[in-house]
Amino acid sequence: MTMSEDQAWLRPSPGLWRMRRAEVVTSTAVLAAFFGLVFLAAAGATAGLVSVVVLLALGAGFSWFVRRRYRAWRYQERHEDLLVARGVMVQRLSVVPYGRMQFVEVTAGPIERLFHLSTVKLHTAAAASDARIPGLELGEAARLRDRLTELGESMAAGM
Amino acid sequence: MTTDNPSPETPDDGWQRLHPLSPLARVGRLVPALVLLFLVSTVHSKAENGRAETDYLVLITLASAVYGYVHWMVTRWRFEGDTLRIETGLIRKDSRRLPLARIQAVDIVRPLLARILGVSELRIRVAGSGSTDGKLAYLAESQAAELRLMLLAGHHDPEVAASANTGLPMAMVTTSRLLGSVLLSLVSIILMGTVATLAVLDQFEPRTAAAMAGFLAVYLLSFAGVVWRRLSGQYAFIAVEGPEGVRIRRGLLQTISETVPYARIQAVRQVEPLLWRPFGWCRLEVDIAGATARNQRGEGTAVVRKALLPVGSQQDSWHLLARLLGAPDPERTPAPRRAKLKAPLSFHFLSAGHDGTHAVCVTGRINRATTWVPLEKSQSIRRVQGPLQRPLGLATVHVDVAGKRARAEFRDREVAEADRLVEELSELSRVARLSSPRSPVASDGTHGVPPSGWYPDPSGRHEQRYWHDGRWTEHVGDGGRRSSEALIPTP
C-alpha cells in the first residue's frame, strides 16, 4: 500500500568522504611522524622507516574501511516514515515513523563546519531508535529538518 | 487534623498543613543513627571526656527536632483550581504546582516509624520527569489514602474519587512462595554456599576459616542486604485492579502503594529464571512511560521498570497479562536451526511472533524472558545484521518502545523474513496507532481508556466497530446490521 518506494535512496554528500579522508590522513600522518621519530631515536633508521611504513599501510587500510562506511550511509523519506541505513560490519536499518518524532536536531562540530556539513538527528522516545544522518550539505540539512518537522507535526496532530 | 495550631484550615484560602506528628516521624528517621553514634562514642571515650560527646549528640537531636518543627511550620498545601500547590522552606522558598491532569502516579510510603505513628508519606510523580516531583510527608493515613484517590482521579471532588475506590484482587504473593523464590535466587545461593563452605572449613581449619570470613564479611553482608531488601520490599505483595491501572501494595517495614496505569504500559516482560522453572514460577515486569512521547518535546522520556508480580505461577502471570494487554497470544515461530551456530546458548529459547496488535519475543540464555510489546506503542522498527549473522543469512528485527531498555527482539530470523517483518511491523504499528481511539486524548498526556461501545470503524471498511475493554473487537456494524470482521485482516 503505502509501502511503495516514494523516493529513491538519498546519500550523504561526498563532502562526508572528504572529511573522513582528511581525518584519517591527518591522524595517520601525525602518528607516523611521532612513532617514526620515536623509533628513529630508540632503535635506529631502519626501525623508524619500518614503523612509518607499517603505520601508513594501516592508515590506507583504515581509509578503505572508512570509504565503505561512508558508502553504506543512505536514507529515504517515505510517506509515513524515514528510513536510515548504515554500517558495514553491523548493518542497521531504522524505520522511524514521522508521527513518533519528538524533535529534530541539527548539529555541526568544528570539523564538520570546516567542510560545510552538518548532522541531522531524529529523536524519538526510544533511546534505541538511532536515526542519525551525518554529512549533509547545509542546504540539504535545513531542507530535511524543515520537512521532518513539518511531517512530524502534521502526523502527530492528525492522530 | 490538628486543633491547637492557629488556623491550619482556614476556609477562605484552603491552605492545609501536614500532620502535626510529621516532625516526630521525620526526625525519628535519625534515631537509629543517633543511637549508633551514641553507642560508638560511649564505648570509644569511656576513659576520656565522654560527657562532652553525649552533649554534642543531644545538641544534634535538638537541632534536628527544631528543624523538623520549623519545616512542618512552613510547609503547606492546597488545591488551586486544577493544580495542587505545595509550599515549603523557611530560607529558600520552594513553591511547586502540580497540574492534576498531568499526575502520573501517586505512591503512599509508610516507613516503620510512620506506621507506628499512624501517618504516611505521599509521593506524587508528574508527566515529564522520572523522579518524585511532589512530596507530602506526613499525612494522616486516612487523609493520605483519600488525597491519593482524588489526585489519581484528576479531580478534587471526593465523591468522584470515592467511586474509584473499588477493585478486584488480581494477584498476590504468599509469604512462603516469596521466601522460596528469594532463596532460589542466585544471590542467596551464593550467600548460603559461601556460609556453608566457611562452616565446613571451620571444622578443619578454624584459623583459615576465620581469616576468610573476615575477608568476605563485607561481601556477605551486602549480599545479605540484597536478599533482605527483596524479601522486605515484596512482602505481602498484592495487586488490585483499579479503574486507572493496577494498584500494588507491598512491603514489610515500609508499605509501598503504587499504581501501574494501563495506558502507559510500553512493554511487559515475563522472566523465568532457571531455578524457578521446576516450580513453574515466573516474574512479571512492566515498563511504564513517565511521559507521553509526542508531547514532551525536548525532554527525555523517563521509563521505569516495575515488578508487576515478583513471583507467581504462569496462570497468575497470564491473568495479569490478560488484563493489561488483553491476553495477546500471537503464534510464535522458533529461529531457524542455523541460528544455533550464532547463539548456541540462547537458541533453545529463541522464538518470536506477532499478530495485528502485539509482538511477542522470547530471548534469554539461562533465564527465559518473554516480552510483549503493543505495536501501538512502537517508536521505531530496526533491522540489525551483525558480522556473525551475515554468513548465516540471519538478521534481528527490533521493535523499540519508549525508554532505554524496553524492546521486542525478533532475534536471528531469516533475512527474507526479517525484511518482511520490517515492512509488516511498520505498517501494523501505523494502523494500530491510528486505530486506537485513545490516541486523540493521548496527545495531551491525560488519557484514560474510552468506555466500551460503538465507535466509527478505524479501518473505514464498515460504519462502526465495537470497542471493548481497551481494544477493538471483530464486531462491526453497517446500517444497523451486525457482522464480524477482524480489524487487521489475517493474511
Q: What is the pLDDT of residue B2?
A: 38
At A132 the three-state DSSP class reads: strand
Q: What is d(CA A139, CA A116) in angstroms, rounded to the nearest whole number? A: 10
Residue B130 φ/ψ, nearest 5 degrees: -90, -20
Q: What does the angle CA B264 – CA B244 – CA B108 come to, to the nearest 5 degrees? A: 95
Q: Best residue in B299, B301, B380, B459 to probe A by mutation, most A CBs within 10 Å?
A: B380
Residue B445 lies in a domain: no
Q: Are residues B391 and B409 in the same domain?
A: yes
pLDDT tens, residue order, chain A (159 aa)? 344 455 689 999 999 999 999 999 999 999 999 999 999 898 888 888 999 999 999 999 999 999 999 999 999 988 888 999 999 999 999 999 888 888 888 999 999 999 999 999 988 888 777 789 999 999 999 999 998 888 887 776 433
CB contact under 8 A, B383 and A96: no
Among B234, B250, B270, residue at a domain's last position: B234
CB contact under 8 A, A128 and B387: no
Residue B441 lies in a domain: no
Task: Kindly state whether A51 is in contact with chain B, defined as any CB-CB distance less than 8 angstroms.
Answer: no
Q: Are residues B63 and B97 in the same domain?
A: yes
Residue B405 lies in a domain: yes
Q: Are residues B361 and B475 in the same domain?
A: no
Residue B108 lies in a domain: yes
* Cβ-nearest to B403 among A93, A103, A126: A126
Angstroms from A110 CA to nearest CA on chain B: 24
Nearest Cα residue in chain A from B381: A95
Task: Kindly state whether A99 is in contact with chain B, defined as any CB-CB distance less than 8 angstroms.
Answer: yes
Q: Are residues B22 and B146 in the same domain?
A: yes
Per-residue pLDDT tens over the stretch B39-49: 777 766 655 55
Q: Are residues B261 and B396 in the same domain?
A: yes
Angstroms from B481 CA to nearest CA on chain A: 28
Q: What is the pLDDT of residue B377?
A: 86
Where do the H-state alpha helices sit in A6-137? 14-43, 45-72, 110-114
Q: What is d(CA A65, CA A72) in angstroms, rounded to the nearest whole number? A: 11
Q: Best residue in B379, B392, B434, B461 to probe A by mutation, most A CBs within 10 Å?
A: B379
Q: Best residue in A102, A103, A122, A130 to probe B by mutation, most B CBs within 10 Å?
A: A102
Q: What is d(CA B389, CA B391) in angstroms, rounded to the nearest whole number? A: 6
Q: Are residues B249 and B228 in the same domain?
A: no
Task: Kindly state whether A89 is in contact with chain B, defined as any CB-CB distance less than 8 angstroms.
Answer: yes
Q: Are residues B219 and B317 in the same domain?
A: no
Interface of B with A (CB under 8 A): 289, 291, 293-294, 296-298, 301, 378-387, 390, 398, 400-404, 406-407, 422-423, 426-427, 429-430, 433-434, 439-440, 442-443
Q: Are residues B21 and B78 in the same domain?
A: yes
Residue B490 lies in a domain: no
Q: Are residues B221 and B337 in the same domain?
A: no
Q: Which residues from chain A sit within 8 angstroms of residue B429, using beta carbons?
A: 97
* Cβ-nearest to B440 among A95, A96, A159: A159
* Cβ-nearest to B382 among A1, A94, A99: A94
- Flag residues of chain B having pLDDT under 70: 1-12, 43-54, 104, 127-132, 153-168, 290-303, 436-453, 455-460, 468-472, 479-480, 487-491
Nearest Cα residue in chain A from B377: A100
Predicted ipTM of the assembly: 0.86
Q: Are residues B266 and B371 in the same domain?
A: yes
Q: Are residues B291 and B396 in the same domain?
A: yes
Residue B6 lies in a domain: no
* Cβ-nearest to B297 among A81, A96, A103: A103
Nearest Cα residue in chain A from B376: A100
Nearest Cα residue in chain A from B295: A102
CB contact under 8 A, B293 and A156: no
Q: Which domain holds residue B456?
A: 451-484
CB contact under 8 A, A96 and B379: yes
Q: What is the pLDDT of residue A117?
A: 93
Residue B389 lies in a domain: yes
Residue B81 lies in a domain: yes
Q: What is the pLDDT of residue A23?
A: 93
Angstroms from B418 CA to nearest CA on chain A: 11
Q: What is the pLDDT of residue B144?
A: 86
Among B218, B234, B250, residue at a domain's last position: B234
CB contact under 8 A, A156 and B294: yes
Nearest Cα residue in chain B from A100: B379
Q: Which residues from chain A sit within 8 angstroms of residue B402, using beta carbons?
A: 124-126
Q: Which residues from chain A sit within 8 angstroms of residue B415, using beta carbons?
A: none
Task: Kindly state whether A31 is in contact with chain B, defined as any CB-CB distance less than 8 angstroms.
Answer: no
Question: A–B: how many Cβ contacts below 8 A?
Answer: 104
Number of domains in chain B: 4
Q: Which residues from chain B sit within 8 angstroms of residue A69, using beta carbons?
A: none
Nearest Cα residue in chain A from B294: A102
* Cβ-nearest to B382 among A89, A97, A130: A130
Task: Kindly state whether A103 is in contact with chain B, defined as any CB-CB distance less than 8 angstroms.
Answer: yes
CB contact under 8 A, A91 and B404: no
Among B234, B250, B283, residue at a domain's last position: B234
CB contact under 8 A, B383 and A92: yes
CB contact under 8 A, B427 and A3: yes
Task: Kindly state whether A83 is in contact with chain B, defined as any CB-CB distance less than 8 angstroms.
Answer: no
In this structure, chain A runs to a length of: 159
Q: What is the pLDDT of residue B113?
A: 83
* Cβ-nearest to B380 among A1, A94, A156: A94
Q: Best residue in B392, B399, B400, B427 to probe A by mutation, most A CBs within 10 Å?
A: B400
Q: Are residues B121 and B211 in the same domain?
A: no
Asked if residues B279 and B272 have their Cβ atoms less than 8 Å apart, the reply is no
